[in-house]
Structure 1
């Protein structure tokens, strides 16, 4: 492969260093143990829940294609791109499936690709490409090209690499330091994530190696070393480990068992694990109630957290997705654009949704038939005849 690198270098291509780029290694070692990747980070349920909250919420939003004209904006439901998102952008995924995978990959690795397939100038498919399959290079023109290692089966990859040009992909990036590649937020905040992983491992070790019940055995009689060692072996065999949790202990010869309350070390472990949840929620800008952490909330602030999440977390990502897809899918100057309908979040809140409809009707913005159309009803006076 060295001769390939030399040829590319002479041609002016610059291959991004996979080992050093934070978009490739989600976490690097910083004195807290071995490096971990984004899949290891998802062993933390808070990371998995934060990513899922982003991706599944955005994937639930309907995708519309609009034509912008001097008179205003008109939806184009019959556009091929609109039909792909509605009917399925590729052989293996629906529109929501693809958006969910695309956004999740960007949140974990900092970058994510959709490949756009065209025939005769028309878009016929949009496919998700996991970033771990991709090697980006910077061409002499200043544009990125992507070497994609094709997958031969469900569990293996071939050595065949094909090149995809920037004009044939939609490249979604998390915040970038150079404007070219995004940087994983997991790599930006290594310490909190690595610390949370260590706490998780410590808790597992406590469960796996701890003895139950926990306490001390005392006796007023003197116990010899052999008897003490025999007692220790019997105790370990009957009460140590998860499988023996809750077994009844039988003591003889005047022995007494004194249970221990929670130790300061155990209390610190519990508090640290709770704090790590809050740290990761800050990292992903997700209010804790969204990921089922209700330790500091009431019904009122849970409802406010949902609005905050939609406005300050999902809103910016929706705008970024709209800009990336519009730029990648439509020719410049066409006036076509993509929009994610965030009003879909009101689907599970009929009281707020219908109150908003009433305000729109009272203000003369919409009429009753337009509201019925939004809600999926036929206009008044028109009934569906079933054959």
Structure 2
């Protein structure tokens, strides 16, 4: 009795199956729950769908490569800051990551699980580093009206954590992620991928029905099926267009159209559904089925105005609040969205030329944007504007402009009178 009781107690110490641990993503399916006919969707399986992978990579890399600068409000306008703070925020957030790698990981968490987290390491009033936090290993709780983040055995207040959720729930603590919300669309994409791969793995042979005199018993039926299976496999392996069947038998397709084996239209629609879930124009996921020159150009503008700028503003606001404090009004971080034009050399130079000719930039400021050295000529630090532009309420006559070769302007009445007197004097002398 004692041995049996001890054995029973040892068996009850763990409810976890040795073959399917509780932590497995398909744990519930092991018990026949939650599986359904469609594949399970989680971050890892969703990223196997090319459209999801492209959307996550495109958005995270685009936002990670945007230039991020630290400014201070000066008497004459914004002034870029230098020093350690600029190094941490603009170049190297910590000893293991540069700013591109850090922000790419941060945004990948936002566009997969639905939340990006980073811990602000402080030393006194200064910022030492920014460290990424794994959202899957972090628990968030509200206690006494304040948020606290528990990670790696430590608890951090909300003032020390940069937190960008994809979409908050009603309790302002939990969040929703794009993959979880687009679960059904991703399930269909996975199911179609599985069907197509299994279909072509079988040599492109559709489900078949055998018609003819049926055997009298189960064993004879099984032997007939095996014979047909071997015949189909032999034809596929030998790349033969014909299958040898017994006399009086024929094979017919069951519910299959060979022209739709790859389900091209349905899979294309799923790409559009996933693009819709991420609010990305489909052409950025390589779907050019409805693309024209004009609408692709408009999609570029849509991407910047309605997607990239919104997420950039969210990160700017969170950094300004958590790094500089709620009451700070002098220092701030800001993305330079013009960095998206880095690959368009012609448009970038035309924009800089317009800025210089409109007195928005000095020539040296334009050169600095392009990463070129400053010109030592003092004139390169002056603002210029087109000569035909005058102040409101005045005309070109009111300005002290000169004509060609340092002569008075042709439309100057005083100069016209002087020229007339000179002409009359020369006539009398002659």
Q: TM-score range by the shorter chain?
A: 0.7 to 0.9
Pick aligned residue for 1:369 from 364, 379, 382 = 364
Q: Is the 8 A contact 2:199 2:205 kept in 1?
A: no
Aligned to 2:271: 277
Is 1:37 the counterpart of 2:42 in the alignment?
yes
Cα distance change, pair 267–344 in 1 and its aligned pair in 2 (3 A): same
Pick aligned residue for 1:170 from 135, 142, 162 = 162
Cα distance change, pair 56–239 in 1 and its aligned pair in 2 (3 A): farther
| Aligned mates of 1:99, 1:278 — CA distance in 2 | 27
SS at match of 2:73: strand
| RMSD of equivalent CA atoms | 3.6
Aligned to 1:144: 147
| Aligned mates of 1:101, 1:93 — CA distance in 2 | 10
Q: Is the 8 A contact 1:65 1:337 kept in 2?
A: yes
Greater CA deviation, 279-288 or 306-315?
Answer: 306-315
Q: Is the 8 A contact 1:32 1:194 kept in 2?
A: no
SS at match of 1:109: coil
| Aligned mates of 2:245, 2:111 — CA distance in 1 | 62
Q: Under a length normalisation based on structure 2, what TM-score does the superposition of the two structures give? A: 0.69
| Aligned mates of 2:199, 2:244 — CA distance in 1 | 28
Cα distance change, pair 252–104 in 1 and its aligned pair in 2 (3 A): closer
Is 1:232 the counterpart of 2:228 in the alignment?
yes
Unaligned runs of 5+ in 2: 1-22, 24-32, 378-430
| Aligned mates of 2:34, 2:301 — CA distance in 1 | 37
Kindly state the Cα deviation for residue 268 of structure 1 after the two structures are TM-superposed: 8.4
Aligned to 2:100: 96
Pick aligned residue for 1:191 from 184, 189, 208 = 184
Aligned to 1:73: 78
SS at match of 2:127: strand
Is 1:54 the counterpart of 2:49 in the alignment?
no
Unaligned runs of 5+ in 1: 1-18, 20-27, 150-160, 383-387
| Aligned mates of 2:260, 2:355 — CA distance in 1 | 56
Cα distance change, pair 51–229 in 1 and its aligned pair in 2 (3 A): closer
CA deviations on 1:50-104 (whole Å, 9 max, x unpaired) are 111111001111110011246432211x142321134411122110111111111
Pick aligned residue for 1:296 from 290, 297, 300 = 290
Q: Under a length normalisation based on structure 1, what TM-score does the superposition of the two structures give? A: 0.76
Q: Is the 8 A contact 2:41 2:183 kept in 1?
A: no
| Aligned mates of 1:116, 1:43 — CA distance in 2 | 33
Is 1:351 the counterpart of 2:355 in the alignment?
no
| Aligned mates of 2:277, 2:302 — CA distance in 1 | 15
Aligned to 1:6: none
CA deviations on 1:145-182 (whole Å, 9 max, x unpaired) are 11113xxxxxxxxxxx2212212110111122323333
Identify which of structures 1 and 2 has the higher relative contact order when contacts are C-alpha pairs closer than 8 Å and 6+ apart.
1
Aligned to 1:14: none
Pick aligned residue for 2:138 from 134, 141, 150 = 134
SS at match of 1:66: strand
Q: Is the 8 A contact 1:372 1:378 kept in 2?
A: yes
SS at match of 2:360: coil
Q: Is the 8 A contact 2:114 2:165 kept in 1?
A: yes
Q: Is the 8 A contact 1:211 1:239 kept in 2?
A: no
Q: Is the 8 A contact 1:239 1:247 kept in 2?
A: yes
Kindly state the Cα deviation for residue 30 of structure 1 after the two structures are TM-superposed: 9.2
Aligned to 2:7: none
| Aligned mates of 1:336, 1:376 — CA distance in 2 | 24
Q: Is the 8 A contact 2:119 2:162 kept in 1?
A: yes
Query: What is the aligned length?
Result: 337
Cα distance change, pair 305–114 in 1 and its aligned pair in 2 (3 A): same
| Aligned mates of 1:74, 1:111 — CA distance in 2 | 32
CA deviations on 1:3-26 (whole Å, 9 max, x unpaired) are xxxxxxxxxxxxxxxx9xxxxxxx
